[in-house]
A and B are shown apart, each in its own frame.
Chain A
Amino acid sequence: MFRRITFVFLCLCTAVFSLQPVWAGSSGLSAFDGLSGRLTIAGGTAHIPVMKQAARQIMRHNPDIAITVAGGGSGVGVQKVGAGLVDIGNTGRALSDEERDKFGLKSYAFAVDGVGLAVHPDNPLNNLSKDQVKGIFAGEIGSWKQVGGADRQINLYTRDEASGTRSVFWKKALDKDPVAVEANVIQSNGAMKVAISRDPDAIGYLSIGHMDDSVSGVAIDGVSPTRENAKDGSYPVVRKLYMNTKGEPGKLARAFIDYLQGPRGGQIVSENGFIPGGQ
């Protein structure tokens, strides 16, 4: 069923884009000339828009290539590529040593994503010190009053154990300090945005690429979670997005990875709210 939908979707994309004038020109796509076959991709959900856009451009340039993109999350990406079920498994975190050794995986970073602290737009708070952030997430600071706000309880939101977003926030913003066990656990960046935007007393963290007007970003030690600050390195809570292959990638996978790490790929990465680079 899903495969059929994917197929129809790919057909539609091909049809739509073949009607447009070819403007891709000499933009790194020539590397795909003469190649043909199937490339399967699965894993990290943050990657999907980037992967799909790249796949569309490549398939439009060379109809002999079929690229399928599926989600599943970072853990699924590792398992699928490790078992040889897909050519490229995406992860929003670096592989653990055990994962790399067990499956013989090779990682290719292609983008950087920041993870920012966020509160409800009605909350006037716009800056916290790192110690305050740690105190809030440890459950020691329980009222907004203690950080200069109204006399109301702080509602904590965190992410699930498998989340790459949680992993980087915990390492780089909380310095691996524990998160209070009472914190509500949210299972995706999108759901986190909804939870924060609907709870006036909420505090949580999400990918900078997902932030919009429905939540208000909070600076840590005076540095705001913006793409500009993540790009110039002043905002420290950033992670890389990876593609992983089992051993050396095949010809088509190699070309795909090079394309995404190249200038045209960088453009796609920027258009989707991430920062190119990270290699």
Chain B
Amino acid sequence: MHFSETFSRMLLYTAAIVSMACVMAVFAFLVYFAWPVLAGGEWKDLLSLNWRPFQAHYGILPMILGSMYLTVLAMLVACPLAAGVCLFCSGLGPGPAAGAVKALVRFMSGIPTVVYGFVAAFTLVPFLRSHFSGSTGYCLLAAGLILGFLILPTIVLIGLSALERVDQELSLTCSALGLSRVQSLIHVIFPAAWPGLLAAVLLGFARAVGDTLIALMLAGNAPQLPGSLFDSIRTLTAHIALVVATDSQSQAYRSVFAAGCLLFFIAAAVNITVFRVRQKFGGLSRDG
């Protein structure tokens, strides 16, 4: 008994150490390859608005801003929808409908990204092109809408589990105070679940920043600053996908590692924030 416990503990430690080592190795690898760019003063080139690799301009600022715009737009699409769906599923909607919506969201989370991209390329893109003059349809708006739908299940499912946890602890108290289901949800449970909801939003954000295929298929990939929702943009992830097959000795290729480093830092920052939020406020509802 004692032996098997030691054994399984060792096994788990090994698994944890291996995964940690992998993450650190990825980071070390990125830094090692990005170092010549960062140390050689080339990073000043990278922080320009001009990506014209054949005229020796290697600015990735349009891609950084493109990623930011797209992510913010996707969050603007996804968060209100997610809040509505969460409330609907946890008590505002009638039971059977809520169950059906929940099942639908679970199903959505299993749809491969490429299916969203493909369907949108054949429906949403021509729609935007024919209804808004001056746009090719491959634009910030198309990618933002679809990316919003893509991250919706992530936010809803994590948000729902946060609501359910709080609900279990507080619903009796709410009933005792004479609050209706709707009142207790909106005034007590939803506000009390905020750390979990914030974590859900942040994880949705991380998924949106990291997604490659939607941007690659729908955003148009033009390395420019968008002047409107209908302009073509390129994200950091799409940039890596487009440039990684170039001549590996070129400076364009090295910019890929800078983009990779940046994405790694964003992912790390989001995850650390989620961790801190959970650590600091995770016990709040239990204590209160």
A, B from the same assembly: yes
Please state if A96 and B247 are interface contacts (CB–CB under 8 Å). yes
Enumerate A4-39 residues with CB–CB distance to B below 8 Å: none
Please state if A182 and B224 are interface contacts (CB–CB under 8 Å). yes
Residue of B51, B55, B250 ringed by the most chain A CB atoms within 10 A: B250
User: Within the complex, what minimum Cβ distance (angstroms) separates B65 from chain A?
Assistant: 14
24 A-B residue contacts at CB 8 Å? A72-B245, A74-B245, A75-B244, A75-B245, A75-B247, A76-B245, A98-B249, A160-B242, A161-B252, A162-B247, A176-B54, A181-B52, A181-B223, A182-B222, A182-B224, A183-B222, A184-B138, A184-B220, A184-B221, A184-B222, A185-B220, A185-B242, A195-B138, A199-B126
Please state if B222 and A181 are interface contacts (CB–CB under 8 Å). yes
Does chain B have a CB within 8 A of A73? yes
Q: Which chain A residues lie closer than 8 Å to B222 at the CB level?
A: 181-185
Please state if B246 and A161 are interface contacts (CB–CB under 8 Å). yes
Does chain B have a CB within 8 A of A144? no
Q: Which chain A residues lie closer than 8 Å to B122 at the CB level?
A: 198
Please state if A73 and B248 are interface contacts (CB–CB under 8 Å). no
Please state if A73 and B245 are interface contacts (CB–CB under 8 Å). yes
Please state if A78 and B248 are interface contacts (CB–CB under 8 Å). yes
User: Within the complex, what minimum Cβ distance (angstroms) separates B195 from chain A?
Assistant: 40
Contact of A181 among B133, B224, B241 (CB under 8 A): B224
Please state if A78 and B247 are interface contacts (CB–CB under 8 Å). yes
Chain A binding surface, main DSSP class: mixed
Enumerate A187-211 residues with CB–CB distance to B below 8 Å: 187, 194-195, 198-199, 201-202
- Size of the A side of the interface (Cβ < 8 Å), in residues, is 32
Knowing A74-B245, A75-B244, A160-B242 are in contact, say whether A96-B250 is a contact too (CB < 8 A): yes
> Apart from A72-B245, A98-B249, A162-B246, what 20 extra A-B contacts exist at CB < 8 Å?
A74-B245, A75-B253, A76-B245, A98-B247, A102-B249, A153-B134, A160-B243, A160-B245, A161-B252, A162-B245, A162-B247, A183-B222, A183-B232, A184-B138, A185-B221, A185-B242, A194-B121, A199-B137, A201-B136, A202-B136
Q: Which chain A residues lie closer than 8 Å to B234 at the CB level?
A: 185
Closest residue on chain B to residue A182 by CB atoms? B222
**CA gap between A222 and B54 in the complex, in Å:** 28
Please state if A162 and B242 are interface contacts (CB–CB under 8 Å). yes
**CA gap between A98 and B129 in the complex, in Å:** 43
1/0 per residue A230-263: CB within 8 Å of B? 0000000000000000000000000000000000
Closest residue on chain A to residue B247 by CB atoms? A96
Q: Which chain A residues lie closer than 8 Å to B125 at the CB level?
A: 198
Does chain A have a CB within 8 A of B231? yes
Does chain A have a CB within 8 A of B216? yes
**CA gap between A102 and B250 in the complex, in Å:** 12
**CA gap between A203 and B147 in the complex, in Å:** 27
Does chain B have a CB within 8 A of A99? yes
Please state if B248 and A79 are interface contacts (CB–CB under 8 Å). yes
**CA gap between A194 and B244 in the complex, in Å:** 23
Closest residue on chain B to residue A79 by CB atoms? B248
1/0 per residue B229-273: CB within 8 Å of A? 001101000000111111111101100000000000000000000
Does chain B have a CB within 8 A of A107? no
Q: Which chain A residues lie closer than 8 Å to B241 at the CB level?
A: 187
Closest residue on chain A to residue B53 by CB atoms? A161
Does chain B have a CB within 8 A of A155? yes
Please state if A182 and B247 are interface contacts (CB–CB under 8 Å). no
Closest residue on chain A to residue B133 by CB atoms? A153
User: Within the complex, what minimum Cβ distance (angstroms) separates A274 from chain B?
Assistant: 21
User: Within the complex, what minimum Cβ distance (angstroms) separates B33 from chain A?
Assistant: 13
| 3 A-B pairs with the lowest CB-CB distances in the bound complex, closest first | A185-B221, A75-B245, A162-B245
Closest residue on chain A to residue B253 by CB atoms? A75
Please state if A161 and B138 are interface contacts (CB–CB under 8 Å). no
1/0 per residue B112-152: CB within 8 Å of A? 00000000011001100100011011100000000000000
